[in-house]
Amino acid sequence: MQQPTILIASANDSQREFLARELDADAFTVYEADSTAATIAKLTTHATDVLLLGELQRRPDSPALLRTIRAGEHQRIHPAQPVITLAASDELTTLRAYEAGSDHHLPADTGYVVLRAVIATVTRRTHADSTSRHLHIGDLHIDTASRTADIAGTPVKTSRLEFELLCRLASDPTRVFAKQDLMQAIWGYSATTRTRTLDSHAARLRAHLRDAGGDGLLKNVWGTGYALKSGGEAR
């Protein structure tokens, strides 16, 4: 079985170089980054199974970066990107790491053998979830890991929120999703909030699907909401 691809992000040169050397010796594919900007650049251009996130330029930088990843602020980085944080072992630092979205937090001086075991655990768990990252509806294929979609091989161009809407609808293609449920799930708006945001994004998504050959795939079900494949009256 091929070893996972690891991105080591740390401003600590000795830590980064040690981990890179040992992981490379064990046949992992390894990339390195020493800053927030470099980490983002690597994650957007290299498929990464696990991000080992150490401390970057300043102590708050790593949890701040992780929060932006989990919030989906980087269009080409999946919000569920597996991350193992490496920093101080005090309770407050550990709490901050998990609050930011770390899958597993380890003290920066954790031995390599333990780190290898944690990498194996995290990748095994994410591999078990990988089937849920591929959604198929007819000729429409969605890869939630790479945040891409295509219709019979033709790419569907979407913004981040349009992609989230597409994934939400594709998660249950037999269901008509109520507008208030979509607003709550994607934008965090309450059911009482009145806005045209959803309709605007749905209209743009419908146009992108049509351009890729999926004319009529996104349905507007009058009085209810939206669906990719509905049983109600739609247009």
Q: pLDDT, tens digit, for every residue of 59-86?
A: 779 999 999 998 888 877 888 899 999 9
> pTM value?
0.59
Closest CA to 183 of 207, 163, 199: 199
The domain defined by 133-227 carries CATH number 1.10.10.10 = yes
5-128: CATH class: alpha beta
The burial class, CB within 10 Å (0-12 / 13-18 / 19+), for 35 is: middle
Which strand ranges, in their side-by-side order, compose the sheet holding 29-33? Answer: 29-33, 5-9, 50-53, 83-87, 104-107
The set of residues, in sequence order, having a beta carbon less than 8 Å from that of 229 and lying 6+ positions away, is 137, 173, 174, 219
Closest CA to 52 of 1, 112, 129, 124: 112
Domain boundaries, the chain: 5-128, 133-227
Q: pLDDT, tens digit, for every residue of 8-57?
A: 999 999 999 999 999 999 999 999 999 999 999 999 988 899 999 999 98
Q: pLDDT, tens digit, for every residue of 198-214?
A: 999 999 999 999 999 99
